[in-house]
Structure 1
């Protein structure tokens, strides 16, 4: 067997086969056979929980075999074409075969540069370091009816989920709290979720490839504290052609579930190094999410929500009165503390648009103040049902706010000017912050919670 194979290899390499056999059988036929073999290997890898090191070994092996195989095929065909006329063959077919060999060689070099080298490097990395995407954990919740995934989506994620579901066949909802991972794994998980007809739910964040798995839900739920993040496919070892294929996979799945074309274009148009977090209203309108729910709707998650990303300007208009007032009370407490300790930080908190980045409150506030503020934000988010068609109606509130400013001006004549033209007072941070604190404290001293909330909404209104 080995001797016969060696003879075939040598005979083709020397160009001893007829041009027809070399071109159609060894050239075209073997290429088709290899393509089928790669597809079967890919199906094997996709169907079983293959370790990252084994997957890397397969990538390295395939890349290492395909390069010499391609060279062997092309050299043998070229030599067969060279000898074709001496054996009575037509010059036209010989020259045509040589042209095809040159074109195939150019295509092989381009493919190897764009696809082969990146995949070879990825294979080596997987063999040496394992899957760098990260790990994940699975938790069974609510008496076995819910399953939570927290972490990344490396190779083998779906198979692990499948094994847990075998042990807990009563699972109906899968929590997805992940910043993404392997697109191939996300697609496999999407298909498994569809097959099982699970509902999907996000308590904190589901971004990048995770959104593909999320779309598999029979019903798709998002916590009021939750966020979904979207961007174009981006992996350091992928060619532009591969990335286009990955983006096509995103589009295919989104379209299957009726997501609006405008949303899809925006989602895959975001640079891979960035992330787009659309608001809850847009997610509902674009048919990405079926329902925004309070966190108590499902079992408690171990994932920590990023409230600053789920917070939206609409909350300051649509929140219930008591939650809104409690939020602004915490803001005033924060402002007073910052104005006492570092008035420049107070200004940064009030006007983040003036600075390169927003103030990281958790790093500058005492633990008790920050915890109170976080609880106030959580309550606003949880108790607000954001409405797309909300219209602000202030009635007599502007009169009330103007009377409040008149009262402030009697004691502090320049505060009205400071509030109206704050940027002119950036060089006086203590004075600037004190004026705004006085304004908010005056709003919080109105006779009723309803009046307090009305004035605060008016002050925060941005046309």
Structure 2
């Protein structure tokens, strides 16, 4: 039996929902609704939606889904770095890669945290122990504090990738003897790649003066 108002499962013979306090009887005829539309839609929802609404058990939301995210990101990064060594990747590509990783990590963290928090709340409403749900919510809060630190880094990388704050006001000058490269101006985002390309073309350059 499910609550008509919020879709929370209600154990008979309860007359009111323990989650929202609404009556579980239909006002028009006084009969109980065994499968409200909201509950049916959630039962049929996919794994992502179930987690987001906190419909999954807390242990599954916190440990299983958390491990899946850890495996996908950390193992995935290790595989990519194995096939594409950082030393062989241009700085622009590297910035784009890490900017994308940061953005996806933040989105995944929000999805994981919201689902776990809601699952913990449901666990408490069902009369479960208070220690484990509160511990999970405490860890989620610590993760939120860490994310606050990561967000500026992601914003900075995105700004560099799309050109925000990248100032191309610099000049590259080769000395008369062709042995020294002088860099004058601001350190722009595309400067390292341009210097590397110039060093490959001018093999006589032995020093770079910044």
User: Is residue 154 of structure 1 aligned with residue 192 of structure 2?
Assistant: yes
In the TM superposition, 1:190-229 aligns within 5 A as none
1:178-257 equivalences under 5 Å are 178-179=209-210
Contact 2:103 2:154 in 1 (8 A): no
5 Å-filtered alignment, 1:324-343, equals none
Q: Which has the larger radius of gyration?
A: 1
Q: Between Structure 1 and Structure 2, which shows a larger proportion of helix residues?
A: 1
Residue equivalent to 2:73:
34
Q: CA deviation at 1:11?
A: 1.6
Q: Is the 8 A contact 1:51 1:156 kept in 2?
A: no
Pairs aligned (count): 157
Counterpart in the other structure of 1:122: 160
Distance 1:133 1:45 in 2: 31
Aligned to 2:100: 61
Alignment of 1:43-54 (within 5 A): 44=84, 46-50=86-90, 52=92, 54=93
- Residue 101 of structure 1 pairs with residue 101 of structure 2: no
Q: CA deviation at 1:178?
A: 2.8
Q: Alpha carbon RMSD of aligned pairs, Å?
A: 4.1
Report the alpha carbon displacement of residue 75 of structure 1 after superposing the two structures with TM.
0.2
1:70 partnered with 2:109: yes
- For residues 154 and 29 of structure 1, do their structure 2 counterparts lie closer, same or farther at Cα, with a shift above 3 Å needed? same
Give the TM-score normalised by structure 2: 0.54
Q: Which residue is 2:35 aligned to?
A: none
| Residue 23 (structure 1) shift | 1.4
- Matched residue, 2:19: none
Structure 1 stretches of 4+ moved >6 Å = none
What SS does the corresponding residue of 1:177 show, helix, strand or coil? Answer: strand
Q: Which residue in the other structure is 1:177 paired with?
A: 208
Helix, strand or coil at the partner of 1:69: helix
Structure 1 residues 33 and 110: CA distance shift in structure 2, 3 A: same
Q: Tell me the TM-score normalised to structure 1 length.
A: 0.28
Q: Deviations over 1:363-398 (max 9, x none)?
A: xxxxxxxxxxxxxxxxxxxxxxxxxxxxxxxxxxxx
Say which structure, 1 or 2, has more relative contact order (CA 8 Å, 6+ apart). 2
Q: Structure 1 stretches of 5 or more lacking a match?
A: 1-5, 142-146, 180-463
Q: CA deviation at 1:106?
A: 1.9
Deviations 1:44-67 (A, max 9, x none): 472334363x45543543343233
> Structure 1 residues 111, 57: closer, same or farther in 2, change over 3 A?
closer
C-alpha distance in 1 between matches for 2:173 and 2:115: 52
